Structure 1
C-alpha cells in the first residue's frame, strides 16, 4: 500500500474545494493510504472530508497564509508577517508599473517565496505527494516524496506571475495535472518547457450526490420569485466577472426586460464594490447576492438559466454541476470555454464582455426552444467521470 499526501489551503466554500471533496470521496483506499494536509483547518466543507483519510494536525506557520498581516503580528509571527508586507509592497508596485488588473497572483507567489525560510518541513516521507492548489511551494520545498504531483485549476495564460520563479518551483514536480485540455494548452503557452510532464485529469463529479443535495429545503425568497431567474455560483472576485454581470443586467433592464432576476451564491473580496455597483445601477431588487452557502445546489435547481460570467477559468466545477441538474447553461468565451461544454448542444458560449453577456441572456430569454434543447441534451449526457481517477493512479 502506497502512502499518499494531498495538500491544500483550507475547506472554505469553493469549486476547487468541492472537487477535492469529490476526489477524496471516490479515492481507492484499498491500495492507497492518504494523509490530508490543510494549511488551515477552516471552512464549511471541513465536515465533508471523508473519514477514510487522515487529517494531519494544523501547523501554525502554514495557517498564516489565509490570515491578515495584523493577525500575524498579534500572534507574534513577525518574520512571516514582515515577508507578507514586503510581498504586498512589491506586488502593488509591479501592478502599477505594468498596469496589471490583478497583481494578487504575483503577490501570493512572492509571499510564499519570502516566507519559505520560516516554514518547517514535514517529517514523514511519502511515496507520492500531491499539491492540489497553487502556489505549490509546500510540496515542492518542504515535503520528502519519491514522486511529486501538482494540480492546476486556472488559465495560467491570463494571470501575471514571475515565470522564472514559477519554473523553479514547477520543476520540482514529476507531473503537473490540468483539469481540462484547454487548461493544459493555456498553461503550456506560458511554460512550454514543461510539456513532457503535463497530463489532464478532469474534476471528479458525482451526479448522484449533487442531485440528492439539490433537494435540500431552502428559504422561500428565490422559490417564490416568479421572474425569469438567472443563477450564478462563484467567488466575488475579479476572475469570476460578477461586476460584468451587474452591468449586463443593467443593460437588459434599460432595454425593457423587467422580468429578470439574477441571484449570486458566493462571497469574496469584491463584495463591497459589487454591492455599490448594484446600488448605483438601481438593481437592488433584481441583482441579489445570497452570500456563502454550504450547499449551492438547491439554488441552481431554481434557475431558469445558469450563467458563468467569468473572465477566466480552468474548468468551472459549477458549470458541470448545473448541467448535471439539467439547467440551460451560458458561459463567457474565456480561453478554456470550449473544453467546458459543447456550444449550442449542452450549453451556450457568449462573447466575453458586458455587452456579450447581455446579448447572450437576451437570446436565451427569448428562445425557449434553444433553452429546451440545451436541457434535453444535458438530460441525455452522462457527467459521471470517476474513471478519471484511473489516470491519476496510473501516474502514481
Structure 2
C-alpha cells in the first residue's frame, strides 16, 4: 500500500525554492508514495510544471490571503485575518524603531502566522508524512494530522531576525528538520542548538539533462547579439541577494576603465524600484540590465561569460548549481555557507562579501581567460545528478513510520 505524503508550500512563482520543489516532484517515487501538494495560493509560472502524478489540493481561501495585500484581504471581508496581518505589521514597525532590522519581513511573517493561526482551518485527512517545504512551518505543525512532520530549511538562519522562542515552539512539533546543505545545517544548529538531534541534510535535487535541454530553448534574448563581456545573475530582487551591491560593483569597474561589460539580472522582487533608481543614479542604464521574471532562465545563463552571485546570505543557491551545470565560471561572495557550494579556484571563485570584493573578483575573471577555462573544464568533469538524495527522504519517512508502528504494537 502506498504511503500518503503531503507537501506544503506557498505558491509556484518563479524562484529557486520553487524550482527545487519541482525537481523533487519530477523525481519522486510515485510507485511507493501518493503525493498531495498543498499550495496556499494557486498562482505562478511554474504551476504547469507540477507533474501529473501529483494531486494538487483545492486552494483554501483563508491560506490564499498570505499572498495578498492587507487591503485585498479586508475587501474580501476576511476581517479577522486582515486584523492579524495589520497587527503583525504594526508590531514589527514598532520593534524596528527600537532595533533596526536589515530585513524585517521574516519577523513580520512569523507574527502574521502566529496571529492568524486561530482563524485558519485544519486540513482534512490524515497523512503518513507531512512536509513543510518553506518557512514558516505553522501550517504543517498546527493544522495537519500526520504520523510524522518534516520541515525544510533553505536559508542561513544565522543571518535573519526571528523570534527564537516562537520558532522553537513550532520546530518542536516537527519530527525532523531538513537542511539543504551541511553549512546550512551548522548555521541552523548554532542558532537553535536544542534542535540538533532533529536536523538532517538532503540537498536540492538537480536534473542536468533538463537544465541543458531548457538552455537550448529558442527565446527572445538580448544577450545573444551583445558582444560585450557578459555577466549574468539569476536572483530575487531583495536585500538578501545583494543586487544593489552588484550595481555599485559594476560602477566601480566602469570607473577603473573596464567599460566593455554588461551585467544582466533575471528576477523580480520588492527592491526593483530601489535598484532601478540606483542604476539611473550611476548612469548604468545601458550596462546593468534587468530582464525581469523569466520562467526559463537557462538560455540567459548559457549566453553569459560568467555567473555572479552577489548575495549577502544563502542556504545553498539553486541558481549557482544550475550555472555550474552549464559550465559557467562562477563568482560568489563569501557568505557563511559559500564554501559548501564552491571549491575556491577549482569550480568557482569566492570573493570578499563587499562591493570592492565583487568588483575585484569580476576584474580577475575578466583578465584571466586561463582561470575561466580552468573553471569551465573542471565543471564539465563534475557529476551534478543527485536524485539519490531522495533516498534519504524515503529512509526518513519509513524509519519514523516504522518506529510509530512499533510504539503502537507495544501499547
Do they fold alike, i.e. is TM over 0.5? yes
Judged with a 3 Å threshold, the aligned counterparts in structure 2 of structure 1 residues 189 and 220 are, in CA distance, closer, same or farther, namely: closer
Partner of 1:6: 7
Secondary structure of 1:73's counterpart equals helix
Q: Which runs of 5+ in 1 are unaligned?
A: none
User: 1:97 and 1:147, CA in 2 relative to 1: closer, same or farther beyond 3 A?
Assistant: same
Q: Determine whether 1:292 maps to 2:293.
A: yes
**Any idea what the Cα deviations from partners look like across 1:330-358, whole Å, max 9, x if unmatched?**
00000100001111100110000111000
**TM-score relative to the length of structure 1:** 0.99
Distance across 1 between alignment mates of 2:66 and 2:283:
37
Q: CA offset at residue 146 of structure 1?
A: 0.4
SS in 2 for 1:111: helix
Distance 1:49 1:26 in 2: 11
Rounded Cα–Cα distance in structure 2 between residues aligned with 1:234 and 1:77:
33
Q: 2:198 maps to which residue?
A: 197
Structure 2 residue ranges without an equivalent (≥5): 398-411
User: Can you list the C-alpha shifts for 1:294-340, whole angstroms capped at 9, x where unaligned?
Assistant: 00000000010000000000000000000000000100000100001
4+ aligned runs moved over 4 Å, structure 1: none
The CA RMSD measured in Å over matched residues stands at 0.5
Q: 2:173 maps to what in 1?
A: 172
Taking the aligned partners of 1:94 and 1:369, their CA distance within structure 2 comes to: 51
1:381 paired to 2:382: yes
Shift of 1:220: 4.3
Residue 230 in structure 1 maps to residue 231 in structure 2: yes
Aligned residues of 1:156 and 1:190 also touching (Cα < 8 A): yes
Q: What corresponds to 2:251 in structure 1? A: 250
Normalised by the length of structure 2, the TM-score is 0.96
Aligned residues: 396
Q: In the alignment, what sits opposite 2:60?
A: 59
* CA distance in 1 between partners of 2:388 and 2:330 (Å): 25
Distance 2:94 2:234 in 1: 32
Q: Judge conservation of contact 1:35–1:55 (CA < 8 Å) in 2.
A: yes
Distance 1:54 1:220, change over 3 A: closer
* Aligned partner of residue 222 in structure 1, secondary structure: coil
Within-5 A mapping of 1:1-396? 1-396=2-397
Please state how far the C-alpha of 1:96 moved relative to its aligned partner: 2.3
Instruction: Report the Cα distance in structure 2 between the residues aligned to 1:220 and 1:386, rounded to whole angstroms.
Output: 31
Counterpart secondary structure, 1:145: strand
